[in-house]
Structures are given as structure tokens and as C-alpha cells.
Amino acid sequence: PKTNTFDLTLKRVTLAPDGFTRSLATINGQYPGPTIEATKGDRIVLNINNELGEPTAIHSHGMFQRGTPWFDGVSGQTQCLIPNNYEFTYDFAVPDQAGTYWYHSHARTQYVNGVVGALIIHDPDDPYLNEYDEEILVILSDYHHVDAEILLKSFLSPASDGNEPVPDNGLINGKNNFNCSQAPPGSTCVDNAGLAKFEFVRNKRYRLRIINTSAFSAFFFSIDKHEMEVIEVEGTYTKRNKIHRLPINVAQRYSVIVTANQPVDNYIMRSEFQKTCMPDGAKNLSVVTAVVHYDGAPEDSTPISAPWKDFLEECIDLKHDTLQPLYDEKLPEATKEMELTIAFHNNSMGVVIAFLNESSYEPDVNFPTLARIFAGQADNLPKSRNAFTFDTVGEVVDITFINTDEGDHPFHMHGHQFWVLGSGNGTKVDKGALNTVDPIKRDTSTIPASGWTVFRFVPDNPGVFGIHCHMICIWHLQAGLLMQLIEFPEEIKKLDPPQAWVDLCNLQS
């Protein structure tokens, strides 16, 4: 197989993506970072050179890491941190995956400070290969002007009352304008920093790969006057279904086909904050925009503004009527059921923290679970490690989430995709509403506010894989919303982790 090598230097750089100057944690000086691209069957090698001034760990979101669980990049679970001024290499194969993914720091709040990038696996067997002429990458994000560690501190204080930090802005491909009159005195800020611009040629067909790298915000994505057809979600091909507005929650990805079938002109691309699931302070946020410029249209004319008006309920995923798998697959029968209840309560300090089944996750950064397994010290983990072990071959597990919280939670499972059998309102699962015929398979799915969702997955990947709310590191993950799935510890012990990985933990002691 071909090896695709990327040299990634993490370092602090002062940038002004939306005109407001701040220090960002960048990859090769860029925000978002460089795009990692490979073809199904390839190897990916990421040479990380950490010059951030603080330790890090890099996670390739959606990659299964079969046979290389030590390269999943999760601080406290699958590795000890990469110290400052240190190099570490991730090296993994993608034998059976293709689609739209991303990579990001999985250490504390770093990804919110900028350590994110797209990860695209091309597919020689893509059934839609002849249905589009070009690919376009669209990275959506919410954006803060204040360092994420400061935001985390205020979130985890009694004064926040559990309200997540409200973003200052949103970006498309790292760009947007900001009204500097709203910036605090003393800041360096210029108005009209500029919007992202996407070039269309009339009658060409584009595959847009859309990634939401936000810390907290769900969006509706759309292009005025242009329909789109969903063809992929997180590595799964879907039937072509026409939509106008695409709901996309934190860490989710979609591919859509858009045909440049409108008169030559400029059009607005929109990423609208879904405000019902945001704290009140978000009310003033405006729609994040970019420009779609047709070849031959004037460069600077005001883009045509004609927002799609279709009503969509906020803070839930696309439903099955527009999100069906392209290929038939026989769904295995469940052999085991687990229930995970999401709740937020005050701790003894008066801080609102998160619980899964009444236990709030606390990582052991210096002795991560995977290292413990190799050391034969993974029995009797403390309750706050939120660890659950699977060691029976052939198990098929239904995880039912009951969300007692008034906010929605986009949950991501590492090392796997899972089938979304259904979701709904209330705390009682409507078994009759579960789809066991053709559910969609993905890796990040929204548990609705005061609602439930059922995931089905097959534990068959020896390693330690987290399932967690992706309002990550921040805000809910730091607050405890993570469960570790330990799969086949005896098989893990037979694997041979690379010395460089073992050394990371030796460096700590």
C-alpha cells in the first residue's frame, strides 16, 4: 500500500481569521490545519512535532485503528501525552474506510484553540464517482476570541450554572467578518476581514465535503438557490436525497452533490447557528456566510440572497426519510443491552458537571487505560474511569441513551461506526419506533434534549475506545460525559505497541 506522510508542526501563532487578533494553536501555522488526504487501502503517517508549549495528543476522528489502538490519540485513554518540544509519529492503515473525516487534538481544550484539520479518504470504488466533477471542502466552526482554557475555567465554575461559553463568531474555512465595535476595548480588530469564496463553473457538479469542527454549535448549512443531495455521512454512502438545508451537529460530516445550475452570479453560502440548543447569550450571533462565485460573474457584486425557508426542527439529526444507506446490509440481532443515562448535577463545589449512569468521567492522564492493560493493571479501575469491558466474541450491543438534560448531546464512538436505530422525545424508548431494517451507520449522532437514542454496534476491535459527547474536552467532556469501551483486553495484550509509544509514558515518570 501507498504511504502518505504528513509533517505537522503544532505551534502558537497570532492570527486574525475574522479580523480579531488572537493567539491560536495552529498546525503548520495554519488554521484550520492542512488537509490529510489518502486513498482507501493506504497508510497514513503523521509526524507530529509539538512546539505548542504544552503537551498534546492527536486523534484521527472516525478512523477505526484496527490493530493500532495506541494511535487513537486520546489523552488519558490510549496514550500518555506528547510533551512540548517532542516528536511523535502516528502510523496507521485505512484498509476498509473511505469518506469524510477530520483530525484534532484530544488533549484538554486544544482543539477549540485551533488544532483541527480535515482528513479525507478517497474511494476508488465510490459509487458516485461519475456523478460529480470536482470536490470542495467546507469546514464549519464556531469561534471564540478568548483562549479555550480560560473559557473552560469559567464553565467549570459555579457562576456558569452549567451554561456553556457562547461563541463570539462562526467561520467557514477559517474565515468570516466580525463587527469590531463588539470587541472589548484594547483588542486589535479590523472589520471586513473577508469571507471564504468558493468557485463554481456553470453546469459543473460538485461534491461538497462538509465538516463541523465546532466546540459547541450545531448549524444548518445551505447555499441560496442551490439544492443539494446527500450522498455520504461519515464514511457511509447514502441514497441521493434532495434537501435545501443540512443540519450538522458538532463533529458530524456529510458529502452533498451540488450542481452549478443557476445563472452566472454570486450566491450566499450559509451556516446558521441552531440557537434553540444554545445559551441565551447566543441570540445575537448572526448567520455565518461565504460566497459562491460563478466563473464569469463580477468579483465584487453583492451576492444574491435568497435563503431557503424549509422548516427544520433544531438540534436533532437528519431523519431517516432523507438519510438512508445506499447499500443493503443485514443488521445483526442484538445480544446485549446497555443503558446510559445522561444527567447534569451540581458537585460539592457547586459546579454543574455531567454524569453517565451517575458517574462522571475522570481521565488518568499519566497512566492511560491502554497502558494499564499492557501493564496488567486494568482490573478494578476506579468507578470514575467509566470503563466497560467487552470480551465475548459475537456480541452485538444496543446502547440506549436516556438524556435527562435539557440540551442535546452529539455522541461520538471511537474505533467504530454504529447503527442509529432511532431516537425520540421523553425518557421512555418507543421500541416500536426502532428501525431494524435499514438504519444508517455513522460515528457521531445527536441524542436529543430530554430524549433518547438507541445505537447498535459490534465490539470487535481490540482496544480502548471512548464514547463521548463531542462538545468535547470542553465543555461536556471536561465535565465528565465519557465512557471507555475496553474491547478484548486479552487480545490487546497479544499486540505489540511501538517503543515510541511506550516511551511517552516513561517520560512522565
Binding site for ligand C2O (CB under 6 A): 59, 61, 104, 106, 251, 412, 414, 466, 468, 470
In the complex with ligand C2O, the residue whose CB is nearer, 206 or 411, is 411
Nearer to ligand C2O, 24 or 482 (CB): 482
Least Å distance, CB 64 to ligand C2O, is 13
Give ∠ CA 300-214-118 in degrees, rounded to 5: 75
Which CB sits closer to ligand C2O, 251 or 353?
251
Q: How far is the CB of 62 from ligand C2O (least distance, A)?
A: 8
The phi, psi pair for 129, rounded to 5°, reads: -50, -35
- Amino acid type, 247: P
Q: How far is the CB of 412 from ligand C2O (least distance, A)?
A: 5
- Of 17 and 466, which has the nearer Cβ to ligand C2O? 466
Q: Name the nearest CA neighbour of 251 among 470, 104, 73, 409.
A: 470
Q: How far is the CB of 477 from ligand C2O (least distance, A)?
A: 8
| Residues 239, 255 contacting (CB under 8 angstroms) | no
Q: Cell triple for residue 49?
A: 512535532
| 245 residue type, one letter | R
Q: Which amino acid is at 268?
A: I
Q: Least Å distance between CB 59 and ligand C2O?
A: 5
Q: How far is the CB of 433 from ligand C2O (least distance, A)?
A: 28
DSSP letter (8 states) at residue 450: T
**Of the two residues 58 and 268, which places its CB atom closer to ligand C2O in the complex?**
58
Amino acid (1-letter code) at residue 172: I
- Amino acid identity, residue 236? T
Specify the residue, 61 or 442, whose C-beta has the smaller distance to ligand C2O.
61
**Comparison of 52 and 115: residue with beta carbon closer to ligand C2O:** 115
Alpha carbons within 13 angstroms on the beta-carbon side of residue 1 total 17
Tell the smallest beta-carbon distance from residue 106 to ligand C2O (Å): 6
Closest approach, Cβ 116 to ligand C2O, in A, equals 9
Nearer of residues 195 and 479 to ligand C2O, judged by Cβ: 479
CA distance 221 to 172: 10
Minimum gap (Å) between residue 454 Cβ and ligand C2O: 21
Rounded least distance, CB 104 to ligand C2O, Å: 6
Alpha-carbon torsion, ordered 174, 179, 181, 186, to 10 deg: 10
In terms of CB distance, is 225 or 470 closer to ligand C2O?
470
Q: Report the 3 state secondary structure along 408-448.
A: CEEEEECCCCEEEEEEEECCCCCHHHCCCCCCEEECEEEEC
E strands within 34-148? 36-39, 43-51, 58-61, 86-93, 99-105, 116-122, 134-143
Q: CA–CA separation, 497 vs 91, rounded Å?
A: 12
Toward ligand C2O, which CB reaches closer, 212 or 222?
A: 212
Rounded Cα distance, 318 and 90, in Å: 33
- Contact, 225 vs 267, CB < 8 A? yes
- Report the amino acid identity of residue 60: S
Between 297 and 472, whose beta carbon lies closer to ligand C2O?
472
Q: How far apart are CA 169 and CA 174, in angstroms?
A: 11
Smallest gap from residue 466 Cβ to ligand C2O (A): 5
**Shortest approach of ligand C2O to residue 35 CB, angstroms?**
16
The three-class DSSP label of residue 254 is strand
Half-sphere exposure of 169 (CA within 13 A, CB side): 22
How many Cα atoms are found within 13 Å in the side-chain-facing hemisphere of 293? 15
Of residues 141 and 289, the one with the C-beta less far from ligand C2O: 141
Q: What's phi and psi for 371, nearest 5 deg?
A: -65, -35
